[in-house]
Amino acid sequence: MPTSPDRLHPNVPVIDQSDRRVPFNLRQSGPTPVQMLISTRVRKSPFWHLAVEAGCWRATVYNRMYHPRGYARPEEGGAMAEYRALVNGVTLWDVAVERQIRVKGPDAERFVDYVITRDATKIKPMHGKYCILCNEAGGILNDPVLLRPAEDEFWFSVSDSDLMLWLQGVNVGLRMDVEIAELDVSPLQIQGPLSEDLMVDLLGEAVRDIPYYGLMEAELEGCSILVSRTGFSGEKGYEVYVRDATYHAEAVWYAIRGHGARYGLRVIAPGHHRRIAAGILSWGQDMDAETSPFQVNLAWQVPRKKQGDYIGKTALETQRAQIEGGTYPFAQKLVGMKMGGQPITDYAPDFWLIRNEHDARIGFVTSPWWSPELETNIALGFVPWDYTALGTRLKVELPEIYREISGQPVEAEVCEVPFVASETPSSRERAFAAGKDASD
């Protein structure tokens, strides 16, 4: 078909992003063809040298830290070999990029309740919750796992943004009696169906009693750790938060690997292929500070019954009223899609473009991957509201290596999310498609 002028523009302005101040970059430039310079302003995790020792051969930068993104090389099966280890056995991830921002003090609960949309008073000590923090416009600033190790103490296990600086700035005006600072605490994730047996081997039978989002204090090789039953995979899993990680990283890492050998433990990169299948979102990829929770099926994170004020409440309640009144106040909404093409077995370097039935470009893919369980490619992506109904037929402009016919987009269909059930289905996953409200 003829090439229209908008197809030549490097950022594809025909796709409506009029509700954003800074549109997503849709340049479709492919892998970066230059050497990326990493300087001392990018931090190494306490586990970085151990990840390299374990075979890490590529990495990205996340939260201004080196972040392992590959251990199995392409000739060894690449990311899909790591996927098989995750869904069939047990795996170890270096996720020190999840920086721990502690809010501690007499006003900790009151402060946290003001900066998250959910009800912090309902998080009991030694428990946690998935939560979001929004700005005054209702944009999602972060979606951490929020841990409460003590009555007067919360840890934000943060996604890829400078949340600590924002929290400190908020309290300049509030002047609540809290201390807000990053801890020398670095988490590891142990994920997969054999994770519980390995954790019991490491720490004893008490591990079996940890509820979903529950916490347990423990020691491993004389090192103080906090264990949570959480993860980013959709498989059964735990996170091990190593205190004084700068000093204790090696002892904990080698203890886990030593005990894990009898379970076939494999060190892998974070399982984005599995989190996509579970419908778990990634901040900075599927949402950012200009994205409303109502755009990405996180309405359940905006409770109707929460008492008191919180940052973003006025904007979010206005958005809810507009939607319930039949007016969708955003240009795009996130949906799940099954799509054709050759198996996508690695990270996407771009937001691949989505077309409608008339071949017009209308949206973009944020998170694609191949699902072995469904034997098809799956993806999350943004499309206009009119194209969000289940069963809507679309097309996706995949890179040439993934296309079935050279030069032609592949067929796609809007479908339910999660794509594949999780071992421990959370309200987050069950609510994705329905956009249900949270009780708190």
Q: Based on the number of CB atoms within 10 Å of its own CB, is 303 exposed (0-12), middle (13-18) or buried (19 or more)?
A: middle
Tokens 């993104």 correspond to 69
E-only strand ranges, 116-273:
127-130, 133-134, 140-142, 145-150, 153-157, 179-182, 185-191, 215-220, 223-228, 237-243, 266-267
CA distances (Å), 304 to each of 148, 301, 308, 312, in order?
23, 10, 11, 13
Q: What token pair was written down for 10?
A: 């490097």
The 3-state DSSP class for residue 157 equals strand
- In angstroms, the CA 426 to CA 212 distance is 8
- Cα separation, 353 vs 362, in Å, equals 8
Rounded to 5 degrees, φ, ψ at 357 are: -65, -20
Structure tokens at 145: 């796992």
Pairwise CA distance, residues 287 & 303, whole Å: 19
Q: What does the DSSP assignment read for 39-79?
A: -TTSBPPTTHHHHHHTT--EEEEETTEEEEEESS-GGGTHH
Q: Is 162 exposed, middle or buried (CB count within 10 Å of its CB: 0-12, 13-18, 19+)?
A: middle
Say if residues 86 and 354 touch (Cβ distance below 8 Å). no
Phi/psi for 333 (5° steps) reads -140, 145
Do the Cβ atoms of 317 and 309 come closer than 8 Å? no
Question: How many CB atoms within 10 Å of residue 33?
Answer: 6
CA distance 237 to 92: 10
235 marked as part of a ligand binding site: no
- Return the closest-CA partner of residue 113 out of 148, 158, 162: 148
Q: How far apart are CA 14 and CA 7, in angstroms?
A: 8
How far, in whole angstroms, is CA 38 from its chain's centroid?
24
- Contact in structure between 409 and 355 (CB atoms under 8 Å): yes
Residue numbers in the known binding site for substrate are: 239
Residue numbers in the known binding site are: 239
